[in-house]
Structure 1
Amino acid sequence: MFFNSHRTTSLAVSIFGAVFNFALAVRLLGAWRSFKWEPESEWESSEYSISKDGVHLVWALLCAYFVAASVICLFGLAGIVRGKASFVRIYRDYIVGDFVFGTLFAAIGSYAAFRPSVRSSICELLSRQPDTLRDFIDLGLTLENCEPWFERGVFVFMIVLMVITVIRLHFVLALSSYYTILISHQGFHLSSHTPHYERIYILPVHSMANKARCTSDVDLRFVDAPVYAPVPLTHVSSQVAEELLANATEAWVSRSHSAQHVRPPSLSLARHQSVDLGSGAGQIADLISLGNEKA
């Protein structure tokens, strides 16, 4: 249920982000064409001045950013639909970075908008753009009340920004949760189809030759039946264990997934006995199993 809710939220965020960022990019391109700037003019204030090329550069960077954001949202949408964790990870990293830098940039812009010099410079710039000013007449903006209007607008913007920040934070957490669940599901399916390997040490046959002579005739009934007798290392002295390891040969054997649930992995000494009636000779080998170590 939570998986489906996080996936639905992530789908909605990716679709909205792709459409919204693309619309902003188109809007900025349209405003760029309609924006009038006098040749060789500058936006001057008491503290700084911005040239025409500087404004064009900032405008171009904003357009490129929103276009790239729209593409990444589409990329994330494809990853969510197809269940590609790598695509979702790229989209999640973008969402987190956009949330952090967007919130920080908006907070700095709101703080700068409270300065009287900034508001007067903005009003002066709007006075040179009658077409742009005409678009704000319906909102009550005129040259006479420009600075008070912007001051009230900053307060409204900060309130809206706080609400948007909370909503975006919810979306970021939902997408991160979906990515975590997706990774865990893919890891589970991958591990269920991956063979498990265990490292063992095979001892030479002659090391247990004296024990082979003690094999009774009753054992001959178990023809070609390998017998594994796990012996905990707690029942073996450390000196014997070191001697066995010194003469052992390392090998890897595969174990089925169900076999691991039957007997818990442990550090043990196992004895493998096999009898061949054709030759009449018995063979005994000792295996030292070193837990459930995966390759």
Structure 2
Amino acid sequence: MRSRMTIPKFATLLITLSGALLHSFLALKLAVSWPGVGSLEAETEYDNAWRSDGLRKLYLLLTLYFVGAAFVSLVGLLGAVRGRPTHVKLYRDAASADLLFTLFIALVAGVAGARTSSRATCDAPELAPLLPLIGAVLAPFLPSQLAPDEACERYLSTLGIGAASALLVLGVVRVHFLLAVNTHYAALVAAESYPDAAADGVQRIRLLPLPRGVAPSDIVYAPVHIPPHATAAAETWIRAPDAEAALAGDDAGLLDVSVVRTKREWI
């Protein structure tokens, strides 16, 4: 069942399409660089260098992560296009778990970057050939000219905090998109609850909130044209009586309906 285009649906399509393309690209890049992982150990002669099997396991885990994320994003994209709430729910739950994991990694990176012991990594012999390059790259951003080892320490001390800050900002953006995904999922579930609404005589209307100081008994409702995404509107399903029965009654011309269900909308 397809639904009309709304802001939550557009946000769902955008984040699922972006996730599918980005994670597929990263998984492909890791797969292409897989043959070069084995040659890294042969070119490294230090005793404390990473083992080839450990690096391969890390590459394999990252590749599986990106492939799984791309698959889940593709499922969510198909669910948003075809109006399948189960697929959208699967993406919402998986993306929420991934968001919590990302925030945890950001917290760990921030704590690790603030630790003084992490700066001892600059003394590792593997980084000795890279110290001049690190100093040249960071020279324009440092207040004064520093030695390569000092530039490396300054770089490592701020790398964890910078990465954690970037992940936190990205997490805030993802939270807003997940809220839109959840809103679109709720709309799909509500629309699926009454698939035969027209045949059953059930119609969906929206009621705007009452003005302040006005009693509900003093309000006469009349159909007016409002945008479908009216702010703070209440979605109500009603069942109207037969036209012949309404005309035969004493209150002909008045709106006599029975409320089937009411749901608050937050868009």
| TM category, shorter | 0.5 to 0.7
Mapped partners of 1:23, 1:161: distance in 2:
20
Partner AA of 1:53 in structure 2? D
Residue 114 (structure 2) aligns with: 114
- 1:91-139 CA-partner distances (Å, limit 9, x unpaired): 1111111111111122112212333333433773752786xx8997874
Mapped partners of 1:23, 1:135: distance in 2:
28
- 1:34 is displaced (CA, Å) by 4.2
Residue 152 (structure 2) aligns with: 146
Residue 12 (structure 1) aligns with: 14
Mapped partners of 1:54, 1:184: distance in 2:
49
Mapped partners of 2:113, 2:41: distance in 1:
23
Q: Which has the higher strand share?
A: 1
Gaps of 5+ in 2: 140-146, 202-238, 246-267
Cα 1:125–1:28 shift into 2, 3 Å: farther
Identity of aligned residues (%): 24
Cα 1:94–1:117 shift into 2, 3 Å: same
Mapped partners of 1:25, 1:114: distance in 2:
31
Residue 58 (structure 2) aligns with: 58
Q: Are the equivalent residues in 2 in contact too, given 1:127–1:143 (CA < 8 A)?
A: no
Residue 25 (structure 1) aligns with: 27
Mapped partners of 2:20, 2:122: distance in 1:
30
Residue 164 (structure 1) aligns with: 170
- 1:7 is displaced (CA, Å) by 0.5
Instruction: Give the secondary structure class of the aligned counterpart of 2:41.
Output: coil
Cα 1:167–1:26 shift into 2, 3 Å: same
- 1:66-99 CA-partner distances (Å, limit 9, x unpaired): 1111121112111111111121111111111111
Cα 1:136–1:148 shift into 2, 3 Å: closer
Residue 248 (structure 2) aligns with: none
Gaps of 5+ in 1: 45-49, 196-256, 263-295
Mapped partners of 1:180, 1:149: distance in 2:
46
Instruction: Give the secondary structure class of the aligned counterpart of 1:37.
Output: helix
Partner AA of 2:170 in structure 1? I
Q: Are the equivalent residues in 2 in contact too, given 1:88–1:179 (CA < 8 A)?
A: yes
- 1:171 is displaced (CA, Å) by 0.8
Residue 127 (structure 2) aligns with: 127
User: Between Structure 1 and Structure 2, whose CA radius of gyration is higher?
Assistant: 1
- 1:183 is displaced (CA, Å) by 0.7
Q: Are the equivalent residues in 2 in contact too, given 1:123–1:143 (CA < 8 A)?
A: no
Mapped partners of 2:162, 2:187: distance in 1:
38
Residue 155 (structure 1) aligns with: 161
Residue 101 (structure 1) aligns with: 101
Q: Normalised by the size of structure 1, how large is the TM-score?
A: 0.55
Aligned-pair Cα RMSD in Å: 3.8
Mapped partners of 1:83, 1:123: distance in 2:
56
* Matched length: 196
- 1:223-255 CA-partner distances (Å, limit 9, x unpaired): xxxxxxxxxxxxxxxxxxxxxxxxxxxxxxxxx
Mapped partners of 1:181, 1:65: distance in 2:
30
